């Protein structure tokens, strides 16, 4: 059974979509294209390109600060 994702943006001009997966609670998922979904805690920043990381950090300064020891 494939996952059913619900995509939304925090701000209308954001490039990042946050993802709700109703069967999972407590995960922070996001996507740039509604195709590839990243898990904030296991994928950031290692699985993002430099450009994706720059976009993510710009749109999500709280998380960039939270994970600053990972860079």
**The predicted structure's pLDDT at residue 68:** 95
8 Å CB contact between 53 and 45: yes
Instruction: Work out the average pLDDT over 10-28.
Output: 90
Global pTM reads: 0.88
**The predicted structure's pLDDT at residue 1:** 38
Quick one: which of 28, 33, 29, 26 has its CA closest to 52?
A: 33
DSSP output for 12-66: TT-SPEEEE-TT-SS--EEESSSSSEEEHHHHTTTTS-HHHHHHHHHH-HHHHHH
Percent of the chain exceeding pLDDT 90 equals 82
Instruction: Work out the average pLDDT over 21-43.
Output: 92
**The predicted structure's pLDDT at residue 18:** 97
Say which range, 2-6, 21-25, 65-69, has the weakest mean pLDDT.
2-6
């Amino acid at each position: 059974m494939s996952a059913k994702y619900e995509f939304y943006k925090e701000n209308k001009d954001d490039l990042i979509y946050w993802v709700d997966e109703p069967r999972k609670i407590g995960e922070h998922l996001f996507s740039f294209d509604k195709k590839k979904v990243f898990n904030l805690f296991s994928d950031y920043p290692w699985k993002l390109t430099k450009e994706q990381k720059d976009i993510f950090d710009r749109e999500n300064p709280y998380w960039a600060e939270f994970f600053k020891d990972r860079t």
